[in-house]
Amino acid sequence: MLFKPTDDNQQSYREQGYLVVDKILPPDQLPPLHQAFDDIYHGIFETGVTPDEVNWQHGTGDPSLTRQICNGWKANRSIACVVLNEDLARSIAQLAGWPGIRIMIDNLLSKPPGARALGYHQDSSYLSWFTPSDLISCWIALDDTTQVGGTLEFATHSHQWQKGVPVGEFHGPDDYQKSMQLAAKHEGVQPHIKYVQVKAGGGSLHHGWTWHGSGANESAIPRRALVLHLMRSDAAYDPDQLAQGIGPIYSRYKHLADNQLDENHFPILWHENGTRTQAIDDYLNPPKAT
């Protein structure tokens, strides 16, 4: 892993609500991830475990939409080697100023040429079921990105706007910036848009309340990205939100007698005291069959 945050990085992240990073992954790690994406979208799950959310598959998925899988790390170890990497987790925790960090979910996003936009939204507006509700997302480009190719884009300083609720259409809306523009109007500001234009292996990190989305891919190359959504290591289910429902997927991991997050599903990747979920190393390096 190549990303190590500086004091200037931390200040920029706090002020803007995001940080663009030229290099997160080395070039030799990209081909295995390309293969992993292809496998997972064809229903090939190396570990035998189906991802928590399979929103697109070859043969049945709408070809005009951006393809999405959630928690591909459970299905493929090439994905897991990035998502569960301790060095990257340490860097992200240090950027956020957290004592420790755990993975909430990953997203495998693939936007082939011609695929439609993803609507602007705030990640944390969907995630009120845990506390502390802090969130930071690491978006890693697996292809060179451009504005015309539908790269990720941010509304600068928008993490300081009013916290909203999920609104608008996410997959393929006609006006993908509409929700953000309405939020900016409510704030009385003219939004400034930043496009993440990096080489493959670069990417960005953004605050959970930063407005972001992406336009249609009008280029001739795909736009694949691996996204890590991360929370503090001390996060737990929020008992005040349980009555409103967590949803059918992540509620299944709730313990009967307490609000602790199960490390089998939300593993701790790094902590300043030197601990992390013990099972990770065994998972990433299973014994070879004899």
The answer to whether position 290 is within a domain reads no
Strand ranges (E), the chain: 18-21, 53-54, 67-70, 100-111, 118-121, 130-131, 136-141, 152-155, 193-195, 203-207, 212-214, 223-232, 236-237, 268-271
pLDDT at 290: 58
Q: Please give the chain's pLDDT, 290 residues, in tens.
A: 678 999 999 999 999 999 999 999 999 999 999 999 999 999 999 999 999 999 999 999 999 999 999 999 999 999 999 999 999 999 999 999 999 999 999 999 999 999 999 999 999 988 878 999 899 999 999 999 999 999 999 999 999 999 987 777 778 888 999 999 999 999 999 999 999 999 999 999 999 999 999 999 999 999 999 999 999 999 999 988 776 767 788 889 999 999 999 999 999 999 999 999 999 999 999 877 65
CATH number at residue 137: 2.60.120.620
175 in a structural domain: yes
Residue 1 covered by a domain = no
Looking at residue 241, its pLDDT comes to 78
- Characterize the bridge pairing of strands 67-70 and 100-111: antiparallel
Q: How far apart are CA 23 and CA 15, in angstroms?
A: 21
Identify the pLDDT of residue 289. Answer: 64
Query: What is the separation of C-alpha 137 from the centre of its chain, rounded to a whole number of angstroms?
Result: 5
Query: Could you give the number of structural domains in the chain?
Result: 1
289 assigned to some structural domain: no
Residue-range definition of the domain harbouring residue 165: 7-284
Q: Say if 2 falls within a structural domain.
A: no
- How far apart (Å, rounded) are the C-alpha atoms in residues 54 and 41? 9
Residue 52 is assigned to a structural domain of this protein: yes
Q: Are 179 and 119 in contact (CB under 8 A)?
A: yes
**Cβ-count burial of 244 within 10 angstroms (0-12 exposed, 13-18 middle, 19+ buried)?**
exposed
pTM for the structure as a whole: 0.95
